[in-house]
Amino acid sequence: MAPVPQRILMGPGPSNPYPEVTAALVHPVLGHLDPEFLSVLDETCDRLRTVFATANALTLPLSGTGSAGMEASFVNFVRPGDPVVVGVNGVFGERMCEVAARHGAEVVRVEAPWGRPLDPKAVLAAHPSPSVIAVVHAETSTGVRNDLAPIGAGKGDALFVADTVTSLGGMEVAIDTWQVDVAYSGTQKCLGVPPGLSPLTVSDRARARLLPRPSSWYLDLTLLSNYVTSGEGGRVYHHTAPVTMIGALHAGLGRVLDEGLVDVWARHEACGRALQRGLEELGLELLVPEESRLFQLTTVLVPDRLPDGLDEAGVRRALLDHYDIEIGAGAGQLAGRVWRIGCMGHTARPSNVEALLGALREILKR
């Protein structure tokens, strides 16, 4: 087999994994009930609590990608007919609507233009008594930050569900302070771990509202909590935990916490600022106004004029083929109109920013 190319992963995820993560992937495999593995699992959950800034007992890595976390966040709480308010200003808000609707929710959409943040007041005013309010913190399709704190403060009796897939580990996430009830994330963005797991946390308030027998057995949080958190009767087997990926997540979280959360956020911010300044110096226009722009994921408008023989996809292909650098295409209504450039996890280093800016300069000046 040909060697696998070593890419600089600057798309919307996966990012390059931290070296500590790669090292953990080849640890000997342990059984999912081995006491040695269970202590790794316990420590992983503790580390997740630190990164989520929560004391939530029900905090765990779900055995699926971020989208499985999204589904778990609805299927365990939403009954047919429940009013669910969803903020929509990108692909992942749209996806939340679809997932909630499939579980029978009466979805109330609150929209903002793609590339602009949601208005928290509009979200809170959308329904007098929603059972759930759901918002994406960092919209991976646009590079916009939606502020969670005002929604948590005004949620009333609703459960507040937040998508933190692209924010966790790359910028401040404060689940308890912001009064988020259910948050899910992914491993392959700012945590610098390959894709495959969804860190998830559930407040005690939300835990009291878990449906007793949701339609999904695989994502049933009551059954999962009986395995992950050892209750009085000990742990109860649910499914075979993906031990290798959990070991990788354990290592990635360890790396992030060793570096220090605040320092990791600052590193993402510094790289994002340098990238965004460099892109503007190349004459490119950014989609999102500075005040709601993410640092870890930047959306650039594809220029009207490109060098002869190159189109939007051609630029990405040239980056990949000549420089081994991956950037992302636009998604949803932004398909063909933007590039998405991630600088997350172990990718978030100044050398990668310079490599991309230099390569892009060469390609665009042709």
Residues that bind a copy of itself (CB under 8 A): 1, 4-7, 9, 11, 13-14, 16-17, 22, 25-36, 63-68, 70-71, 75, 95, 98-99, 102-103, 186, 188, 194-196, 213-219, 237-245, 247-248, 254, 320, 326, 331
The answer to whether residues 228 and 207 touch, using CB atoms and an 8 Å cutoff, is no
Residue 147 CB, nearest distance to a copy of itself (Å)? 25
* Nearest-approach distance from CB 109 to a copy of itself, in angstroms: 17
Backbone phi, then psi, for 300, in 5-degree steps? -115, 135
> CA–CA distance from 101 to each of 28, 126, 128, 212, 258 (Å)?
42, 17, 19, 20, 41
Pairing type for strands 182-184 and 159-163 reads parallel
Long-range contacts formed by 351-354: CB under 8 A, 24+ apart: 352/8, 352/10, 352/271, 353/271, 353/274, 353/275, 353/278
- For a copy of itself, the closer of residues 28 and 128 by Cβ is 28
Name the minimum Å distance from CB 167 to a copy of itself. 16
Burial of 365 (0-12, 13-18, 19+ CB in 10 A): exposed
Going from the C-alpha of 208 to that of each of 105, 120, 186, 204, 290, the distances in angstroms are 19, 26, 25, 6, 40
Nearer to a copy of itself, 137 or 238 (CB): 238
| Helix pair 261-281, 243-259: axis angle to 10 deg | 80
Residue 5 or 81: the one with the smaller Cβ distance to a copy of itself is 5
Token pair, residue 14, equals: 């996966």
For residue 16, the minimal CB distance to a copy of itself (Å) is 6
Quickly count: other Cβ atoms within 10 Å of residue 125's Cβ: 12
Tell the smallest beta-carbon distance from residue 65 to a copy of itself (Å). 5
Work out whether strand 132-136 and strand 83-88 pair parallel, antiparallel, or are unpaired: parallel
Output 84 or 151, the one with its CB closest to a copy of itself: 84
Instruction: Say whether the peptide bond before residue 242 is cis (omega within 30 degrees of 0).
Output: no
For a copy of itself, which is the closer residue by CB, 150 or 195? Answer: 195
Phi-psi region of 136 (alpha: psi -120 to 50; beta: other; left: phi over 0): beta
Least separation, in Å, of the C-beta of 30 and a copy of itself?
Answer: 6
Question: Rounded to the nearest whole angstrom, what is the least distance from the CB of residue 204 to a copy of itself in the complex?
Answer: 25
Q: Which residue, 34 or 172, has its beta carbon nearer to a copy of itself? A: 34
Nearer to a copy of itself, 9 or 302 (CB): 9
